[in-house]
Structures are given as C-alpha cells and as structure tokens.
Structure 1
Amino acid sequence: MSTTISDLKKEMRRAAKATRQQAFARLGDSASHAIAGHGVGFAGKPAPAIVSGFLAIGDEIDPTPLMQRLLGEGYRLCLPVMEGKGKPLVFRAWSPGDPLAETTWGIREPLPEAEVLDPDIVLGPLLSFDDQGYRLGYGGGFYDRTLARLRALKPIVSIGIAFDEQKVDAVPHVDYDERLDWILTPSGPTRCPAKG
C-alpha cells in the first residue's frame, strides 16, 4: 500500500506538535515579543491596511504583542471566524478588549455584530513550514480555502507565524495547498519564493 500525502501530513503533524511544544516551553513570551519587534513593514502594505491576526491556542506563538504594535501604528485589526466545515474563514473587526465568543477547540472569535472585513495581510499559525512557503496546518484546510478566496479578490500578503525550530526540509503538499508569502519567526522575516 502506498503512502499518501495525507498520511505523510498526519505523520509530520505528530512530530511538529512535539517540536512546537518544546520551542514554546523554552521561548514562549520572549518569542511573542521578538516577533512584535519585527512588525510587518517588510510586507509592503502600510497602515491603514487591514491585518488579520489570531488569538493563540495551546503552544502557538501569541501574536497579541504584534497586533497591539500594529494597532498603535494605525493598522486596522480583525480576527478569523469559522463559518462551518469546508468553508473559508470570514474576518470580523477586532481590537484588544473587544468582547469575544469561545467556539470549537477553545478558539475565541469576535461577536457576530462586529464588522466583516477582508484583510490585506493575513497572519496565521502553523505546525511546520519550509523554504517554499508551504505550511503544515491542522488539517481542516481553513487557511488554504481562505487564502484562495482572498487572493481572488485582491492582492494580499500571507505571513506564517512560527518558531524558527518549526522549519522543515519540505512540507508535503497538493495542488490546492496555498503557499505563504512570508514566514515571521523570532529571528526575523523570511520571504518565500514567488509562485512559479
């Protein structure tokens, strides 16, 4: 029986979770502040561009310090909201202190009355990444569908937020896996090659 891309991803996810857990235990808060120190000026979308962040769960790097910096620089913030399995994410306006609802997997989302926005910059969590900009996510395909939808609307910049330790030689991928434009780690931003 041949190994499928799906099997390879499952196997990689197990190892990646352990790697990220160890990096988080060692670096936690310092990684969040290092990422905030870099900002997003490298992305070429100055304020008042709309930035979609995320609220960390588990051992994801917490991008809140970065989002607070961006708000101070005049960017508009939003957070992703799940609309259901198999659907792209939508984004609702958010600022630190705004009320949130807790949903599946402990994810916190803005309330339904918050304004829907289409971000110019998308910050996303991941389990692993490679030099080509492929990311290993959690397997739901939410970010792939969402990036495809946004890219059909307008030019956007996607930035994976990760520990340096999460880099791998190659992330298994299929045609519909959307590549990232940048990876932002505590050591700084890395540009991924343009899609050839």
Structure 2
Amino acid sequence: MSISLSDRRAVTTHPIAEVLAERWSPRSFNPSAQIDDAQLSVLLEAARWAPSASNLQPVRFIAARRGTAEFDAIVATLVGFNQVWAVRASALVVGIAVTAGQDGTPHRWAEYDLGQAIAHLSVQAHTDGLHVHQIGGFDPRAIADHFGLADTFVPVSITAIGTLGEAAALGEPYLSREVASRERLPLDDLVLVLA
C-alpha cells in the first residue's frame, strides 16, 4: 500500500504555508534509502539557526546514520513499539537540551530552544524531500550513559529521518496509524484569548 502525499496534507481552517500543511510524521521509512553527509549537515544547519533565548544555543545533537554502531546504540534505547519502525529510518538525531551553563546557571529555556531547533530541522527536511518522525519513547539515561553525556546534557527527543517506504511493510497496529486521518484540536480549543 502506497501513501499519497496529497492525501496526507493537513486540512486547515486557515491557509498556511504549503511546507507546513504537507509536513507529517510517517513511520513507513524506506529501509534502503541513505542520507549522505551533505543532506544531514543541511538539516543540522537549519536547526543551528533556530531562535535561541539570549542566543545561548543550549542545544546539542547526536546524529547517526543507519548501518553505524551509533545508530544501533540509539535504536537500543527506544521502547519496543518505536524500535519496530525507527530501525528503518536513514538517520536518527538525538536532541539534547543543555540545562545549565558551565558556571551552573540554569538555562531555563533550553528545552524550548531545542524544540524550535528540531522544528527548523523538520521543515528543512520536508523542503528537501525527506520526512521526520519525532520520538519521545526512549531511555534518556541509556543515551547519556552510552555517549558519556554530562548531567546538564539532557536527551529530550529522538528524530527519525528518511524517505517514505511502503506503508504495508509496517504491519498492524502501525499500518492503521499510518493511514489514519490527520487530526488536530480545533483552533478555538487551543487559543484561550484572541483580543
């Protein structure tokens, strides 16, 4: 079963940029597609130029391509549900929030800045014909231990990156989720005040 990208476009109540309307988070990655150094560097460059409170840039990344020991180590930290499909991605990027400076001063906005950086990476990926799926189901301590991260370097998310594969290869229950209609809460539920 193939998934038409036009079928995945968000149905919005107000017009938004096409790159945002078309962006979605597949699990059906092509297990033979590769991502090269240049492609991965462009995505990380987009993340680097995200807004940052006081320009502290309290974000770091671990980027690993399928077929490397680092990729396998990241996959091993994923909860079983995510391991099934993420192993097919071309690359995995661990997003790390640097929660304090070298002098111990807390970086209050670190996770917010990291979220913006990953959002920039996601939009750049879609612009470049790639797809991403962000993952929260993993063991942050295992990532920190494996890569020798300092206590202030907190793994927050993992982003799977690749090109679309065949949805049917996922099997159930993943296939049903892959082809389910895209939904969001109505804007009226999200906006508390619009003055």
Same fold (TM over 0.5): no
Q: Which has the higher strand share?
A: 1
Q: Point out which structure has higher relative CO (alpha carbons under 8 A, 6+ apart).
A: 2
TM-score after normalising by structure 1: 0.29
Rg larger in structure: 2
TM-score after normalising by structure 2: 0.29
